[in-house]
Chains A and B, each alone.
Chain A
């Protein structure tokens, strides 16, 4: 231990570099040279990278635990600063906010790190067998390693921008892995959908970042925590965020009707919380951004297990836990989190009730379970919410891997992806795949909430706290003193959340056991099992008896004659010749050890992980104690349990147990006792509802019709406007005006000499006439004090005759050389001077020149005095 501490001091815990570096190295090596390395080397690199990372993570965790013991009940963190990254300006007195590439391990990220590397390693191992025949093996592991790296950056990042690297990095890996078999358009479309839905969330995260920089003046966890109170405890109205009028101006003039009686403002804490929440709903697939996750099942099944169940999708919950001290400042945000969570849990569970695709059921179940986690953190039960993240990682990964094992077996003869994943084609697999069966059963019981299994404890703790907790604004008193109210959640919120949660849990138990019974019990419905004719066995592509060389040769052969499809085995049914499933074929087969070992390990954790926090049974809660320093200061004074909560613990537990009993009981009755007849009857009785549920409430279509088509229309309008108005009218019209002048002037330049001569004559004549006529003209110069000098314009042989007194008659009778006269005016008086001019030809002309003096002294006169 001493060696560990001297090697890695808390402020420079460079072991983090190794934990992060190994998966990155793996991604780099496999990504760049994978094609040349061959499968064994790729496998070695990928597994050793994640394995080494896991071992280092264990060492780091031990070091952390040691420090926690040494330092007592403190929030211990181990830091490693890689380098300075960039900076921003912010805070009250706008200062420099450095943003470094800095990582830290504390109690929360330590646990998460272990889960990610541990489960990640198991899934890597599983994938080596699952993906063994894929030509893009190397690409798969490069992406998978990159994902582990990004996820670790997300978890270990010590500030929001570094977390954001990981946040978008996992999004990118998810995008790449969903569209892994990119020659099927639907896969990449699903990938794009995931990325863009996540980007909407990222927009929220970006907003949260600039709000935090501005208000809290920091982006690292410690800094945000110490500056967070400003968010809610605003000293002045100006520090609140003005929603309407935008930014806090006033509407005047014709827009006055837009001005509300009282400006609509929210506290910065609410704004930050909602922005963060948007980010979290994107990543963690909650209403309204959950739509991408079910589509994401287009990726290979290990990806669904690792990214879309165990780790990435829980990043939103992790972020809420990480920034719990920001969320608790706004009870409104907390209530929103909880309500979104429970609605998602209910909503997704209803869809999962009727789905027939094994992965779709699990996907909606993931959405629903994430809803439970949101419910947990939304009611201030951060430990319980995070505990559910922890247990869910095991049982959901186990379920997905089990599903993968089943699909793998089905693929032996059913090559169509949709058909191979359809539970209506399965059944009775218990007999053929015992390990998959038992592990799947363990995980199903865990998720359904069989008492004493991991899922039971974590879900029960959430439901309990949902019932008893309520959030209060820590500055409610202060705000009341300033006559600005603080929002408080309604009293009925807790019980309502509890009831909705129990209903969702009941549905969970039902659909999970429905899935389980349909897959593993009853009779096998995929194909006729019997002794296969020899020819069929040779042709059967995924046939397990084939030697590896034969497999390769087969792949190559396929590659040559159907080049454009040949990248992989699972890329749809293109590469396969259809088999007649009526022909008898080999029974589905248990998977190889690389796939079953992870299943067994994960199943063991699904069963036993509950001992870490068996909330109602004992007061010795290991996880609660471990995480207490992280959440303690956040929930103190903000999350209040109702009176007598401790007595409610056991009664409320009955809800969870009831949910399990009722849900699994109905499933048993429907699918085992009655062989599915009641389900078919129900579907017949309410065909509309059944259809609607099968179509996932048609939310995708709703989004398509509203948001997407609106943006699309906006874009169409913008593009058309650009073409027609900006380029068409603004640019072309200007050009047209110039061109029109050109056309007019061009007619004059016709090249006909007669025409030019005529024009010249006309011009000369006009000039001659100008010189022949006299032009009387004079400039009036005020000299100040009412004195004015008038000077007549000169001309050849001009004689002048003035009417200087304004009587209408010339002062003199003859024209002479008097070019200039002076006169004086009283203030406010005006006069009309007449000037007559006679030129050398004796022609005369006359002009009246009005002169007036303003009544008040002009600026100029003042200046001259």
Chain B
């Protein structure tokens, strides 16, 4: 150590040091030169021109430089990804001085067909894939990815519209006039991010899965695309009949995915998954039909399945409770909430990596989204009546019990599955608390969970592909042989335990503070907030426990000594989710500003109905038809089947 200088001599000075210094000097001297010549404007313009590109160039350059010589192929895609994410952040930036609204472009034209394109593209793609030859797996995979990326690309225009309180991109087409069935899609601040989450995660899951799935590629591609279409449809459908169609549509590909490409107990897990979800769905179907015909009865016309029309129906308490129960049970199974959660660990453990990612990241969100949109939207009084008790279930059965169970799992995938139960406990708690901030936090937490749990499942998939086991005891000391993998895993872990600066914290914080402030949880808001905060400790307990067992300490198993670090494909799949962890963590306002209006609307609707029909009896008179909500899009008359007028 005394010979430190000889160290210096022994190692060459980094080659880039001089060019970097030179570039800085050149730019600085150029600026000084221009300024000293008195042409301040030119200097400012020059600087502004450089400055406007810096936000995109810098991340791209950084990403370009990240992989070392061994991974040169990664440089371009990573740079592009970084630039796109930087563009996304810069474009949607709120939090500076002012919001760049419109920039004098005039009102943005909302194409009523955009949502149909978005959900139609994957479904059409699924059919198109059927016509490709089974023997060309690369073509199949390429086509599938291209379709998914195209879907992602065409859904970006959704971001150009400030969402506010209303619904946008409304398309309402009469489908079966006699039964009042429409094809009605529209999007608000809540479904916006879930749609974007779907189109963001599905290509990643698909891309990662092409590395590990080598059998029946064609069927796999078909299932993936159909699943994407179904999920997107379920998020944007505002006609309960179409919602139900999409809801069931996505069930089938997932069932097939678990059943064909799953692990050893795949059939059992697939059946369990299907039966649980189906049980709830059937109850919901009954409730939907009852509601539609109740509408017909009370309006004296044809039945309607339209969300905004059905929102108008004020049902007496005893009827409302039954319908609310049917809807809610269906959604809670999907979430899943205690005690109907046990399909989830099995389904996750047996599902292939891609399936797990989509299941955790997107499908579970349909439960929480459904509760927010339909259970709370259609039956506000009943939702208010049950909020306090269900919040108790969310805290005890979800956040605490889920975390404790997760702690005792030996199987990493099961552990992550139970952690999902805990995380979705936060989401549900936020929905039950129903303050503006807690609702926003909940919706953001849905996205967060999609990102961080998606990342965790991708990461577990990486090690499963190498060792074909998920038992924690089989690993140990992996940080030594797989340093990049270990780093990414730790980042995802930190997001999962809600470290501030990562996405997990924002959602949890908003939900917990919202819970304490809430007046909908009776006397128990305080203790429920405390319980939710305890979940933060337990999260660290189980996640850091598994990290320590898997990555640190000496390498105990000889088969782990020669494991390869993450491949290019895996890095490309993990890079965007890892980036999003920090984007949401540091710039949540990009997301919250879009959710804010819709959350406020939901809260106002809820509050208005509860105020008009106060607890504990709420409303016991005959069914009534209330006025249409002011924020609802203009109704399409149930006349002969004509396409909705484009506005």
Name A's B-contacting residues (CB within 8 A). 32-33, 35-41, 83-90, 94, 96, 100-101, 128-130, 132-133, 161, 164-165, 167-169, 172, 175, 179, 182-185, 187-189, 192, 195-196, 199-200, 202-203, 206-207, 209-211, 213-214, 241-242, 245-249, 408, 544, 546-549, 552, 563-565, 567, 589, 591-592, 594, 711, 714-716, 718-719, 722, 726-727, 730-731
Task: List B residues 509-535 near A (Cβ within 8 Å).
Answer: 509-510, 512-517, 522-527, 529-530, 533-534
A206 lies within 8 A of B512 (CB):
yes
B554 lies within 8 A of A548 (CB):
no
A83 lies within 8 A of B95 (CB):
yes
Query: Which residue of B12, B540, B552 is within 8 Å of A183 (Cβ)?
Result: B552
B516 lies within 8 A of A86 (CB):
no
B592 lies within 8 A of A86 (CB):
yes
- Residues in B with CB closer than 8 Å to A183 are 477, 480, 552-554
A40 lies within 8 A of B499 (CB):
no
- Kindly state whether residue B8 has any CB partner on chain A within 8 Å: yes
A83 lies within 8 A of B589 (CB):
yes
- Kindly state whether residue B107 has any CB partner on chain A within 8 Å: no
B512 lies within 8 A of A719 (CB):
no
B514 lies within 8 A of A726 (CB):
no
Query: Which residue of B8, B530, B586 is within 8 Å of A207 (Cβ)?
Result: B530
Query: Which residue of B522, B540, B551 is within 8 Å of A182 (Cβ)?
Result: B551
17 A-B pairs with CB atoms under 8 Å apart are A32-B62, A88-B437, A90-B513, A168-B499, A168-B501, A183-B554, A188-B553, A196-B541, A207-B530, A207-B533, A246-B524, A544-B2, A547-B3, A549-B10, A567-B480, A722-B401, A726-B342
A37 lies within 8 A of B14 (CB):
yes
Name B's A-contacting residues (CB within 8 A). 1-4, 6-14, 17, 62, 65-66, 68, 94-96, 272, 338-339, 341-342, 401, 404-405, 407-409, 435-438, 477, 479-480, 494, 499-501, 506, 509-510, 512-517, 522-527, 529-530, 533-534, 536-537, 540-541, 544-545, 548, 551-555, 561, 586-589, 592
The CA-CA distance from A164 to B514 in the complex, in Å, is 18
B589 lies within 8 A of A84 (CB):
yes
The CA-CA distance from A86 to B529 in the complex, in Å, is 19
The CA-CA distance from A32 to B65 in the complex, in Å, is 9
B404 lies within 8 A of A715 (CB):
yes
- Residues in A with CB closer than 8 Å to B65 are 33
List the A residue with the shortest CB-CB distance to B477. Answer: A183
B517 lies within 8 A of A213 (CB):
yes
Query: Which residue of B68, B477, B516, B537 is within 8 Å of A200 (Cβ)?
Result: B537
> A196-B544, A200-B537, A718-B405 are contacts. A249–B561 as well, Cβ < 8 Å?
no
List the B residue with the shortest CB-CB distance to A200. Answer: B537
The CA-CA distance from A159 to B568 in the complex, in Å, is 41
> Nearest Cβ in chain A — how far from B279, in angstroms?
9
The CA-CA distance from A490 to B342 in the complex, in Å, is 55
**Knowing that A39-B11, A211-B516, A719-B408 are A-B contacts, what are 15 other residue pairs whose CB atoms are under 8 Å apart, sorted by A's residue number?**
A33-B65, A33-B66, A38-B11, A169-B500, A169-B501, A183-B553, A188-B552, A195-B540, A196-B544, A209-B509, A213-B517, A242-B526, A547-B3, A548-B3, A727-B342
B554 lies within 8 A of A192 (CB):
no
Query: Which residue of B7, B435, B513 is within 8 Å of A548 (Cβ)?
Result: B7
The CA-CA distance from A380 to B2 in the complex, in Å, is 48
> Nearest Cβ in chain A — how far from B584, in angstroms?
10
A591 lies within 8 A of B1 (CB):
yes
> A40-B13, A83-B96, A87-B437 are contacts. A213–B513 as well, Cβ < 8 Å?
yes
Q: Which of B272, B513, B551 has the most CB of A within 10 A?
A: B513
- Residues in A with CB closer than 8 Å to B2 are 544, 589, 592
A203 lies within 8 A of B534 (CB):
yes
A548 lies within 8 A of B517 (CB):
no
Give the 5 A-B residue pairs with the shortest CB-CB distance, closest first: A247-B523, A84-B95, A83-B95, A719-B408, A185-B553
> Nearest Cβ in chain B — how far from A728, in angstroms?
9
> A165-B500, A183-B553 are contacts. A88–B510 as well, Cβ < 8 Å?
yes
Query: Which residue of B94, B545, B586 is within 8 Å of A192 (Cβ)?
Result: B545
- Residues in A with CB closer than 8 Å to B95 are 83-85, 100
A246 lies within 8 A of B526 (CB):
yes
The CA-CA distance from A133 to B3 in the complex, in Å, is 11
The CA-CA distance from A83 to B587 in the complex, in Å, is 8
B477 lies within 8 A of A564 (CB):
yes
- Residues in B with CB closer than 8 Å to A589 are 2
B1 lies within 8 A of A133 (CB):
yes
B4 lies within 8 A of A715 (CB):
no
> Nearest Cβ in chain A — how far from B55, in angstroms?
13
- Residues in B with CB closer than 8 Å to A189 are 548
List the A residue with the shortest CB-CB distance to B603. Answer: A89
List the B residue with the shortest CB-CB distance to A179. Answer: B552
Query: Which residue of B68, B96, B272, B435 is within 8 Å of A36 (Cβ)?
Result: B68
List the B residue with the shortest CB-CB distance to A87. Answer: B437
The CA-CA distance from A589 to B291 in the complex, in Å, is 87
B7 lies within 8 A of A40 (CB):
yes
- Residues in B with CB closer than 8 Å to A209 are 509, 513
A199 lies within 8 A of B404 (CB):
no
B533 lies within 8 A of A203 (CB):
yes
List the A residue with the shortest CB-CB distance to B438. Answer: A89
The CA-CA distance from A245 to B524 in the complex, in Å, is 10
The CA-CA distance from A247 to B404 in the complex, in Å, is 25
A88 lies within 8 A of B544 (CB):
no
Query: Which residue of B405, B513, B588 is within 8 Å of A715 (Cβ)?
Result: B405
The CA-CA distance from A331 to B425 in the complex, in Å, is 37
List the A residue with the shortest CB-CB distance to B589. Answer: A84
> Nearest Cβ in chain B — how far from A821, in angstroms?
34
- Residues in B with CB closer than 8 Å to A89 are 435-438, 513-514, 517
> Nearest Cβ in chain A — how far from B100, in angstroms?
14
- Residues in A with CB closer than 8 Å to B545 are 192
> Nearest Cβ in chain A — how far from B356, in angstroms?
19
> Nearest Cβ in chain B — how far from A715, in angstroms?
4
> Nearest Cβ in chain B — how far from A197, in angstroms?
10
The CA-CA distance from A210 to B552 in the complex, in Å, is 35
B500 lies within 8 A of A210 (CB):
no
- Residues in B with CB closer than 8 Å to A195 are 540, 544
- Residues in B with CB closer than 8 Å to A96 are 436-437
Query: Which residue of A172, A247, A248, A547 is within 8 Å of B499 (Cβ)?
Result: A172
The CA-CA distance from A185 to B339 in the complex, in Å, is 37
- Residues in A with CB closer than 8 Å to B404 are 711, 714-715, 718-719
B12 lies within 8 A of A90 (CB):
no
> A38-B12, A203-B534 are contacts. A86–B6 as well, Cβ < 8 Å?
no
The CA-CA distance from A730 to B514 in the complex, in Å, is 33
- Residues in A with CB closer than 8 Å to B409 are 719
The CA-CA distance from A759 to B82 in the complex, in Å, is 74
> A249-B522, A544-B2 are contacts. A40–B544 as well, Cβ < 8 Å?
no
Q: Which of A84, A130, A565, A591 has the most CB of B within 10 A?
A: A84
> A89-B437, A169-B501, A547-B3 are contacts. A202–B536 as well, Cβ < 8 Å?
yes
- Residues in A with CB closer than 8 Å to B9 are 548
- Residues in B with CB closer than 8 Å to A200 are 537
A199 lies within 8 A of B536 (CB):
yes
The CA-CA distance from A87 to B17 in the complex, in Å, is 43
> Nearest Cβ in chain B — how far from A236, in angstroms?
16
A247 lies within 8 A of B524 (CB):
yes
B4 lies within 8 A of A88 (CB):
no
> A89-B435, A210-B513 are contacts. A719–B1 as well, Cβ < 8 Å?
no
B501 lies within 8 A of A86 (CB):
no
B494 lies within 8 A of A722 (CB):
no
- Residues in A with CB closer than 8 Å to B510 are 86, 88
B592 lies within 8 A of A210 (CB):
no
> Nearest Cβ in chain A — how far from B172, in angstroms?
34
The CA-CA distance from A164 to B512 in the complex, in Å, is 15
A172 lies within 8 A of B494 (CB):
yes
A86 lies within 8 A of B589 (CB):
yes
B4 lies within 8 A of A594 (CB):
yes
The CA-CA distance from A187 to B401 in the complex, in Å, is 29
List the A residue with the shortest CB-CB distance to B527. Answer: A246
- Residues in A with CB closer than 8 Å to B526 are 241-242, 246-247
